[in-house]
Amino acid sequence: MRSCRFALAALVTLCGSFAAARADNGRLPANETVTQLLPENIRTMRVTPRGVIEMPDWNTPFGERACSVLLSRTAANFSGGTYTLQGGLAQGEMLGVTYDVPAGDWPIKLDLAEVIFGTQATVVATTTEWSILIYEGTPTNGQLIRTESSDGTILPHIQIPAGTNGVNLNFSVDPQDPDQIIINSFAGNPNKFTIAFRIDRHNTPPANPNCDAPVANRNAFPATDNTTIGCGSGYGQLNFPTQNWLFANNCPLGCQAGWSTFSALNADTNIGGFCITGCRPRGDWVMRVTYSSLSCTPGVGSCCLPSGECITATQSDCATANGTYNGDGSTCATVNCSGACCLPDGNCIITSSGDCASQNGTFRGLGTTCATANCPQPTGACCLNNGAFCLVLTQTNCVGAGGVFQGANTVCGANQSCPSGACCLPTGQCQVLSPANCAAQSGTYRGNNASCATANCPQPNGACCFSNGFCLVLSPTNCSGAGGTFAGGGTTCPGACGPTCNDIDFNNDGSSFDPTDIDAFLSIFSEGPCVPPTSTCDDIDFNNDGSLFDPCDIDSFLLVFSEGPCTLCGV
């Protein structure tokens, strides 16, 4: 393909591709035209290999199309707008677009291929002969599986009346036709297919139809979306430069022959104010396709239940089960029924929507990750300035400001005071503390503004002493119910329930651990008087076991006198 254009003046002849850029004086080259087509100027031409079909709307030309998937690699509106007509496309040259399909959809059936051709101020009605080519993979790394060419009878040529007009060529196969276009994933370049259109004959071909640019006002040309910008801009506006293709004829001074992606074609270059036009268009081809997976059952697809389980169901059944429907033809093998869940404490977990709701979390959607969930951090009361002042902050900001975070969703007290309430300590005591100070003492916080009068702090277990000297560790309530004597919270067995001996100052003369106490004890034990006579001696049941004048009292007295423990005989 080759076209020569006079970009600046008669003295400078610039030869390049059909995708010429603007010259510095703002003129468009002769073989690239920006065209505005109103909806009433674009006729939809619906054709099949078996002939023309007349349908008012492609959305339902053959009835149920619930499994159809639309793929587009252009920003253009197919019902009207501003396009760039690529006037340098010669006979035998082609435009193509590669589309990606999920691995689970293969093999697929081609439902529809669309392309827009247009004219700009033509002086005659135009007829363009064309072909559609379907590739598994790409044109350079794949295989051609089908070619259909217009014949003017069964498969009509593109016909456009004189003036500025367009045609949206719709190529499809009737679902009732046994000769469907089935596309498989190409082993050498999987999960891709390419649709291409070829200009077989222009309406008014030039003398050298394979290399010279056709006359602009007597021919129709394929459109790219209108993203024309200044020469030498780098073509950053191309959205799909590696998926749009050009097939160029082998012509002297023309574009590189054969198939090339737009990214591999030379762009315009601005040298010293002169625009050297390249081969790369400034927009993507105005083409799109619709396909359906052969494994798709209309009206049935995968459904993610709140539990995270995936089932195959109709959309209505999925809604009845409070599930999320993933579309007709979707399969559980390719669906992720879990997602990011933002918990109230600001943490993020990956779980099902139902489990997230049970934890009062916010589900970010199926397939989402915690890396992009942006979970909001909870706020709470923050005690600052040694507890003298309170602000509601996130924990990070509170710690950064040197404060003590009181917990998620806590609030400040009156006049921005730090919140406080009854705190049940492990000892069974109750104190009014802040939540953080209560936690620091291993206490149980009863809530902001709670009073100790109503805190009902549980008393800790302790030694329960029975009359026979036996000991169990019980709660105060259980000890009382069992007829024992509670020795106090935190006390333990053994030791807490031993015998209680009298003071070792037996004769109460104010002197302990002196021989007169022994003399007095032995005198009383022998049923004699208290010595010295001026003294008042204690009861002879020294160990208070209820037994008088028994040897155990002597043993207990002598043991305590020797600074030993008070014990019962044999204990």
Confidence grade of residue 20 (pLDDT, cut at 50, 70, 90): very low
Of 110-119, 373-382, 506-515, which has the strongest mean pLDDT? 110-119
Cis ω for the linkage preceding 107 (within 30 of 0): yes
CB of 308 closer than 8 Å to CB of 366: no
∠ CA 123-125-126, rounded to 5°: 110
Q: Against a cut of 0.95, is the pTM above it?
A: no
Instruction: Give the mean pLDDT of 78-103.
Output: 92
Confidence grade of residue 49 (pLDDT, cut at 50, 70, 90): confident
Chain Cα centroid distance, residue 427: 48
Strand pairing class (485-489; 462-465): antiparallel
Predicted local confidence at residue 331, as pLDDT: 82
Q: Give the C-alpha separation, 511 to 329, whole Å.
A: 102
What is the per-residue burial (b if ≥16 Cβ within 10 Å, else e) of 455-465? Answer: bebeebbbbbb
CB of 232 closer than 8 Å to CB of 269: yes
Q: Give the C-alpha separation, 98 to 367, whole Å.
A: 27
Predicted local confidence at residue 232, as pLDDT: 54
Predicted local confidence at residue 437, as pLDDT: 82
More confident residue, 562 or 347: 347
Strand pairing class (258-261; 274-276): unpaired
pLDDT tens string 539-548 = 888 877 777 8
The DSSP annotation for 180-203 comes to --EEPPPTTSTTEEEEEEEEEE-S
State what percent of residues in the chain have pLDDT above 70: 88
Confidence grade of residue 138 (pLDDT, cut at 50, 70, 90): very high
Q: Give the C-alpha separation, 13 to 186, whole Å.
A: 44
Q: Give the C-alpha separation, 266 to 263, whole Å.
A: 8
Instruction: Give the mean pLDDT of 170-188.
Output: 91
Q: Say which residues have a Cβ less than 8 Å from residue 341's Cβ, sequence separation at least 6.
A: 348, 349, 350, 351, 353, 355, 356, 359, 361, 362, 363, 364, 373
CB of 2 closer than 8 Å to CB of 13: no
